């Protein structure tokens, strides 16, 4: 992810976008060629925007835009290094221009091609003798790497090998991931990323992402400016308190933003250099980690209240100050006592998106809508029961209610009555209302208290059962048999991650429902044979949505997330399920088509953003799907002159 020896040029402060960098002279543009980056800076402590980096790709899109906070007087001399506007008490960053070659080129993951460097490149870039004589293609490298990965039987070893490749040769990493997406997604993402986070202290070799701890309070802007890439378009940030269903992993949660952003590039085509993984370290309440000598985070209990709020507020302001209005901040795996408040606080001032609340809602709504093709009826004909009433559960419930209300013109409050949630204390009912967290209150319907899930299933008689509890094996035989006795084709979504926390396995869902369940899970399960028939479980994971959703926001310059954009993403995803998928009982399309799916999601999201007046990249491209496709990062190697 780091690259220190690229061509670097200073340019005006601004905000990442898709228009061209007007500040570059013709000779600079020529000099930059196809594998160059332009780096800008501003004095530390400066109140102006920090800068933008743009990177050329084959599509020629460039990324410095028109939000100029420091216009250049025509004919004047440009303060390209931010040196002139710095006062004497301010420090400037000594950025330098350099060309990677020889040994440093081989060690630069952004530019390294290993044995794929051509003869000409080996001469031009002082690589003779630093590589064995053979020249091989990127295709052959992919074949070699997938064999290498397959050698490992332990998933964590595969994960380490993938991370190692990412640090050595970024384009090969992404080509490999894209070419073998169904095989490697479970390696770089759930379930293996969960184990990686649990063991991050001992497998940690290269620092990845940016760590912002309480120690950096008061100078977060400076910390952001230490990141080598300047044209950041997406940040995925966690504070590590609710990592998948594994709880508080503190600083070790970094595996999640790193993994999510790999998917942004692989599945959504957002350039890796535009992605910034961040972990905010306010301490951890995980006693095991606090006593682990390899733990590398702050060794104290989590800061809460004002201390937490102030750090997060400084972070959000610094992000906007450094990267501008269009930077997308994706909140990931925060505990629900912070997640809802952060989203509420920043949704009107920043481009923020909570993947666990909003992304999950969008993907599950799509799955439910497609499932209706298999079971019949409309959304209003179905009754939903959730195990788990936190971010994912109430987020999904809310979006299903919104879509149903829009489709039927029935008021939201009325629609909500068909949706029931169970939390750790039992069914959410009106007699509990006073003591409920705010996000549960809309779901407190009139009913006698019910403690056990199986009893709730028998009482509520849901057609759809959704697990968002983070508790493994909670959809017991009794629960699934109860669902199967009420429904010809029970829809059972076991969304909790990683696999150990899944409410049931695919085998349990199919066996206990005598092969009648429409089943999907958050982490993947292998196909199951039951009664002579093979059942292929789908994966209901927000990974279907956030990469395309983010691309849609970025390519349209959208400045705020609106619920209708989530509905647009969901609709696009559901529309990608084919008859062939339905015939296999699948309610999601295969991940092997993910780039096409992401382009459609991006286009639908962008179209809605333009319609709502939230998009700022004007004029609107005529064909948004083509535009999305042409905007995507491709991991093929570029030639170096
Ligand atoms: N597939 C996907 O794409 C996604 C999956 N997830 C997964 O969903 C799970 C939950 O995430 P999230 O909603 O953010 O977590 P939260 O902590 O916000 O919510 C968890 C909910 O589960 C309830 N719960 C906990 N234990 C039990 C139990 N034994 N019986 C009934 N309810 C219980 C909690 O109850 P109480 O409120 O009483 O504490 C709470 O309401 C995680 O495993 C996560 O990995 C999340 C996002 C996306
Ligand atoms: C998938 C995801 O975002 C989660 O489990 O938290
Ligand atoms: Mg998450």
pLDDT higher than threshold 70 for residue 77: no
C-alpha span between 84 and 77 (Å, rounded):
10
Distance (Å, whole) CA 478 – CA 457 = 10
Q: Which of 174, 189, 323, 637 does the annotation list as catalytic?
A: 189
Between strands 426-427 and 419-423, the pairing is antiparallel
Residue nearest to atom 4 of ligand 2 (CA): 244
242 lines ligand 1 (CB under 6 A): yes
**Measured in angstroms, how far is the CA atom of residue 213 from the centroid of ligand 2?**
23
Long-range own/partner contacts, residues 473-480 (CB < 8 A, 24 or more apart): 473/502, 473/503, 473/504, 474/387, 474/503, 474/504, 475/387, 475/503, 475/504, 475/508, 475/509, 476/504, 477/508, 477/512, 478/454, 479/453, 479/454, 480/504, 480/508, 480/509, 480/512, 480/513, 480/517
pLDDT at residue 204 in the model: 79
Which ligand number lies closest to the CA of residue 335? 1
From 188, 246, 336, 356, mutation site for ligand 2 pocket: most ligand atoms within 8 A of C-beta: 356
The CA 25 to ligand 3 mean position distance, Å, reads: 43
User: According to the annotation, is 242 in a ligand binding site?
Assistant: yes
- Distance of CA 184 from the midpoint of ligand 3 (Å): 18
108 annotated as a binding-site residue: no
Q: Considering only CA atoms, which residue is closest to atom 28 of ligand 1?
A: 424
Ligand 2 centroid distance, CA of 467 (Å)? 13
**Percent of the chain residues past pLDDT 90, beyond the cut:** 83
What residue owns the CA closest to ligand 2's atom 5?
244
239 has pLDDT over 70: yes
**What ligand is nearest to the CA atom of residue 357?**
1
The lowest-confidence range among 20-24, 112-116, 265-269, 369-373 is: 20-24
Q: Which of 82-86, 351-355, 433-437, 499-503 has the lowest mean pLDDT?
A: 82-86
**Is 239 marked within a binding site?**
no
Neighbours of ion ligand 3 (CB under 5 A): 332-333, 356
495 Cα–ligand 3 center, Å = 11
Q: Which of 113, 260, 440, 608 is labelled catalytic?
A: 260
> Taking a C-beta distance cutoff of 8 angstroms, is the pair 56, 31 a contact?
no
The closest-lying atom of ligand 2 relative to the alpha carbon of residue 355 is 3
Q: Is the CB of 422 under 6 A from ligand 1?
A: yes
Q: Which residues contact 574 (CB under 8 A, 6 or more apart)?
A: 365, 366, 367, 369, 370
Which residue has better confidence, 363 or 641? 363
pLDDT band at residue 54 using 50, 70 and 90 as cut-offs: very low
Residue with tokens 């109860």: 482
Q: Among this protein's residues, is 260 annotated catalytic?
A: yes
State which of 333, 423, 451, 474 you would mutate to test the pocket of ligand 1, scoring each by most atoms of that ligand within 8 A of its C-beta.
Answer: 423
**40 has a pLDDT exceeding 50:** no
Q: What is the mean pLDDT of residues 563-576?
A: 98
**Whole-number Å distance between alpha carbons of 454 and 512:** 14
Q: Given a cut of 50, is residue 61 above it in pLDDT?
A: no
Report, in this order, helix, strand and coil percent for the chain, each rounded to 5.
45, 10, 45
User: Is the pLDDT assigned to residue 58 strictly greater than 50?
Assistant: no
Identify the three-state secondary structure at position 519.
strand
Which atom of ligand 2 approaches the CA of 542 most closely?
A: 1
For a pocket test of ligand 2, which of 542, 545, 549 has the largest count of ligand atoms closer than 8 A to its C-beta?
A: 542
The 10 Å Cβ neighbour count of residue 458 is 16
Query: Given its phi and psi angles, is residue 330 left (phi above 0), alpha (psi -120 to 50 degrees) or beta?
Result: beta
- Residue 604 in contact with ligand 1 by CB distance below 6 A: no
pLDDT at res. 79: 52
The pLDDT of residue 92: 75
Nearest to 499 by CA among 199, 251, 263, 187: 187
Ligand nearest to the Cα of 360, by number: 1
Read off the pLDDT band of 206 (50, 70, 90). Answer: confident
Report the separation in Å between the CA atom of 192 and the middle of ligand 3, taken as the mean of its atom positions: 14
| 65 annotated as ligand-binding | no
- Cα 329 to chain centroid, rounded: 10
The answer on pLDDT for 573 being more than 90 is yes
Ligand 2 atom at minimal distance to the Cα of residue 543: 1
Where do the domains of the chain lie, and which CATH numbers do they carry? Answer: 98-135 (no CATH), 206-353 (3.40.50.10380), 356-539 (3.40.50.720), 542-629 (3.40.50.10380)
Whether the Cβ atoms of residue 472 and residue 500 lie closer than 8 Å to each other: yes
292 annotated to a ligand binding site: no
* pLDDT value of position 82: 61
Cα gap 536→517, rounded to integer Å: 11
pLDDT at 28 over 60: no
The pLDDT of residue 635 is: 98
The yes-or-no answer on residue 189 being catalytic is yes
Ligand 2: residue whose CA is nearest its atom 3? 356
356 annotated among ligand-binding-site residues: yes
Radius of gyration of the chain (CA): 25
Q: How close is the Cα of 242 to the center of ligand 2, in Å?
A: 9
- Ligand 2, residues at Cβ distance < 6 Å: 190, 244, 333, 355-356, 497, 522, 541-542
**Tens-place pLDDT, residues 512-545:** 999 999 999 999 999 999 999 999 999 999 999 9
pLDDT reported for residue 207: 85
In order of 143, 358, 506, 539, 594, the CA distances from 499 in angstroms are 28, 22, 11, 11, 22
ipTM entry: 0.99
Say if ligand 1 is within 6 A of residue 336 CB: yes
Instruction: Determine the pLDDT at residue 81.
Output: 52
What separation in Å is there between the alpha carbon of 10 and the centre of ligand 1?
46
Any bridge partners for residue 235, and if so which? 276, 329
Residue 202 parent element (H or E): helix 200-203
């Amino acid at each position: 992810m780091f690259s220190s020896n690229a061509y670097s040029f200073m340019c005006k402060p601004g905000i990442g976008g898709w228009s061209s960098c007007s500040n570059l002279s013709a000779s600079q543009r020529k000099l930059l060629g196809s594998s160059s980056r332009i780096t800008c800076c501003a004095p530390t402590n400066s109140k102006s925007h920090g800068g933008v980096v743009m990177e050329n790709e084959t599509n020629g899109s460039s990324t410095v835009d028109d939000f100029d906070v420091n216009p250049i007087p025509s004919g004047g001399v440009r303060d390209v290094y931010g040196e002139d506007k710095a006062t004497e008490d301010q420090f400037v960053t000594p950025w330098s221009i350099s060309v990677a070659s020889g040994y440093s080129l081989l060690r630069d993951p952004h530019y390294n091609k290993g044995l794929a460097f051509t003869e000409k490149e080996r001469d031009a870039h002082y690589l003779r003798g630093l590589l064995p004589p053979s020249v091989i293609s990127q295709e052959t490298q992919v074949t070699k790497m997938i064999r290498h990965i397959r050698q490992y039987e332990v998933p964590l070893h595969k994960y380490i090998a993938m991370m190692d490749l990412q640090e050595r040769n970024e384009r090969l990493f992404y080509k490999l991931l894209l070419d073998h997406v169904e095989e490697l997604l479970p390696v770089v993402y759930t379930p293996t990323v969960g184990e990686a986070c649990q063991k991050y202290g001992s497998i940690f070799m290269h620092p990845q992402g940016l760590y912002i701890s309480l120690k950096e309070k008061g100078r977060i802007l400076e910390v952001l400016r230490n990141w080598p890439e300047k044209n950041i378009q997406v940040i995925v940030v966690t504070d590590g308190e609710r990592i998948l269903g594994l709880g508080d992993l503190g600083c070790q949660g970094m595996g999640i933003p790193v993994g999510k952003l790999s998917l942004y590039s692989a599945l959504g085509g957002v350039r890796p250099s535009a992605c910034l993984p961040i972990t905010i370290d306010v301490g951890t309440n995980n006693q095991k980690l606090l006593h682990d000598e390899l733990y590398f985070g702050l060794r104290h209990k989590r800061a809460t209240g004002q201390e937490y709020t102030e750090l997060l507020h400084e972070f959000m302001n610094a992000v906007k100050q450094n990267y501008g209005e269009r930077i997308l901040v994706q909140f990931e795996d925060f505990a629900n006592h912070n997640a809802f408040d952060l989203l509420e606080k920043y949704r009107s001032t920043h481009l923020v998106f909570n993947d666990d609340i909003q992304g999950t809602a969008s993907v599950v709504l799509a799955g439910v809508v497609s499932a209706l093709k298999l079971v019949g009826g409309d959304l209003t004909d179905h009754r939903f029961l959730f195990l788990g009433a936190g971010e994912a559960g109430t987020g999904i419930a809310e979006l299903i209610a919104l879509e149903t209300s829009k489709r039927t013109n029935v008021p939201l409050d009325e629609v909500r009555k068909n949706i029931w949630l169970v939390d750790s204390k039992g069914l959410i009912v009106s007699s509990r209302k006073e003591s409920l967290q705010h996000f549960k209150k809309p779901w407190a319907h009139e009913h006698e208290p019910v403690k056990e899930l199986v009893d709730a299933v028998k009482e509520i008689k849901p057609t759809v059962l959704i697990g968002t509890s983070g508790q493994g094996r909670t959809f017991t035989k009794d629960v699934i048999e109860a669902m199967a006795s009420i429904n010809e084709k029970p829809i059972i979504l076991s969304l909790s991650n990683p696999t150990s926390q899944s409410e049931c396995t695919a085998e349990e869902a199919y066996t206990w429902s005598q092969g009648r369940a429409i089943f999907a899970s958050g982490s993947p399960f292998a196909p199951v044979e039951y009664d002579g028939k093979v059942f292929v479980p789908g994966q209901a994971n927000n990974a279907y949505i956030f990469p395309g959703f983010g691309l849609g926001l970025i390519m349209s310059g959208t400045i705020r997330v609106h619920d209708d954009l989530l509905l647009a993403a969901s609709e696009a995803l559901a529309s990608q399920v084919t008859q062939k998928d339905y015939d296999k009982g699948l309610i999601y399309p295969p991940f092997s088509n993910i780039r096409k799916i992401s382009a459609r999601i991006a286009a639908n999201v962008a179209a809605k953003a333009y319609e709502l007046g939230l998009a700022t990249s004007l004029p609107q491209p005529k064909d948004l799907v083509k535009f999305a496709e042409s905007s995507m990062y491709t991991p093929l190697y570029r030639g170096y002159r």
